[in-house]
Amino acid sequence: MSLTLGLHRALQQTPDAVMTVYGRRTRTVREVAARVARLAGALRDLGVGAGDRVAMLSLNSDRYHEYLLAVPWAGAVLNPVNIRWSIREIAHSLADSDSRVVLVDDAFAPLVPGLRERYPQLRTVIHCGDAATPADALSYEDLLDSTDPVEDARRSGGELAGLFYTGGTTGFPKGVMLSHTNLVTSALGAAGTGFMYRPGARLLHAAPMFHLADLSGWIAVTLLGGTHIIVPAFDPVAVLSAIERHRVTEVLLVPVMIQALIDHPDLDRHDLSSVRAVLYGASPIARPALERAMAALPNAGFTQAYGMTELAPIATLLGPDDHRLPGLLSSAGRAAPHAEVRVVGPDGDPVPTGTVGEVVVRGDAVMLGYWNQPAETRAALRHGWMHTGDGGYLDENGYLFIADRIKDMIVSGGENVYSVEVENVIAAHPAVAACAVIGVPDETWGERVHAVIVRRQGADVTADEIRAHTKALIAGYKAPRTVDFAESLPVSGAGKVLKRELRKRYA
């Protein structure tokens, strides 16, 4: 079982089908396979041996797709770099993983001199952009043109497929080691629910392809023989146009992207009827936003995924039917078919239903460990279970609720205020595009309910109007005492609103 399996299968079954669409560039399975076999040959010629790491630092493109196939084809190991990192973090991940060969596109080529300075072992830079190749880099297309194809150096399922650095918030990121089986198990497990990644899928890559959320969909759709519609990065206009033009059937988004789409003035001008599945992750979605998204995408089932890189990445899914039930939108869903999920106490034993404990997960998707971090690996993988570090509880139907989200409770004047409730009410205001509610220290109230709001394009609203709107719908003590307006909310690499960041600003 290798990440290249889907390419071989497609080559055997549908060689002339379109496999990638990127701007005006369209490539069939046969073309992709020929290019991948040449790129793998080029990597070998560049001294990449079995198990060596090859990094990629790039926006989404059809060449990202080829990289994901050519590295395992060459018998090497993927290292898709987080494009949101600082140059210091990028250099750290290259050095930590010993990635001597790096592919960069036009957007990241300017970083190369700085990377070489910080990581002198960087041997070869392959420029996979469409602009002129920088002086100290090799041209991706020239390499393909000048190299003979090689045979696929298939690896067995248990071998290392890639290092996926987690966006650690403290200290330097850790390299999560995932095998081919880890990645395929999660992808097939998610597909097994029938919620999405069905055969014949036309998957839109709008979220960054380096991230496992998108990459997992890439694996499933490649295995099941679908088409990848690729845009360089999330942009509402590009996404709306791509969906309509290429009859996209499935798309992975994070809630802030969904929000941006439904708020876009061009929304109604596009035919989005082809979309049958939307997978979103990183954070729950507020009901008003979900309802607007459902109306905008009438044929789509919505699925929320919870997981982490160490789980390759999916652990639980909140499926389309669950979205129709009240009270479940704040849940992370139920264990996916391939994952066993428990909530345990400090002794490792399961806690009763409804009790908060640590979420732990078992199964063939659980990582091999952290690269060069045996102590961290031992701490995470205890008694055969991956310890997520997330607090949460299970209800009597197996729905998982992550307590980090419960922790967003604000205690103001002795009253408990759940930020998600306030956020839902504020989000229902027609002038609000996005909002986050936090507790900020307050001499009088202990904590004060504070809202940070992004206004919708062209809309205007005052703090007083927001307060009045909120008080009309929920108890007065829950209404934000203070309101700030911002251009955007701080989000993590995975698109999650970083309330920690907001709290720091107002601390």
Contact set with its own copies (CB under 8 A): 1, 5-6, 8-9, 12-15, 154, 156-158, 181, 184-185, 188-189, 191-194, 198-199, 220, 223-225, 334-335, 337-338, 340-341, 362-364, 384, 394, 396-398
How far apart are CB 352 and its own copies at their closest, in Å?
13
Percent of residues in the chain assigned helix, strand, coil, to nearest 5 = 35, 25, 40
* Shortest reach from residue 399's CB to its own copies, in Å: 8
**Quick one: 363 or 493, whose CB is closer to its own copies?**
363
Nearer to its own copies, 110 or 200 (CB): 200
- Cα 320–chain centre separation: 19
Give the span between the Cα atoms of 343 and 113, in whole angstroms: 47
Q: How far is the CB of 335 from its own copies (least distance, A)?
A: 5
Query: Which residue lies nearer to its own copies by CB, 349 or 460?
Result: 349
CB nearer to its own copies: pick between 163 and 220: 220
CB closer to its own copies out of 183 and 261: 183
* Token pair of 105 as six digits: 């596109």
Beta carbon of residue 113, minimum distance to its own copies (angstroms, whole number): 43
CA distances from 259 to 169, 323, 428, 456, 495 (A): 25, 17, 12, 10, 12
Are the CB atoms for 136 and 110 separated by under 8 Å?
A: no
User: DSSP alpha helices (H): ranges in 84-194?
Assistant: 87-97, 112-118, 140-146, 180-192
Beta bridge partners of 314: 307
> Minimum Å distance from CB 337 to its own copies?
5
Round to the nearest angstrom and report the end-to-end CA distance of the chain: 50
Instruction: Please give the Cα distance from 330 to 408 (Å, whole number).
Output: 12
- Please name the residues in contact with 4: beta carbons below 8 A apart, sequence gap of 6 or more: 36, 69, 72, 73, 152, 154
Give the pairing type, strands 124-127 and 138-139.
parallel
CB of 63 to its own copies, least distance (A): 25
CB-based contact 28:201 (threshold 8 Å):
no
Give the shortest CB-13-to-its own copies separation in angstroms.
Answer: 3
> Of 13 and 457, which CB lies nearer to its own copies in the complex structure?
13
* Rounded distance between C-alpha atoms, residue 222 and residue 196, angstroms: 13
Nearer to its own copies, 93 or 388 (CB): 388
Minimum CB separation of residue 197 from its own copies in Å reads 8
Report yes or no: 276 and 301 within 8 Å, Cβ to Cβ: yes
Q: Pick the closer one to its own copies by CB: 6 or 439.
A: 6
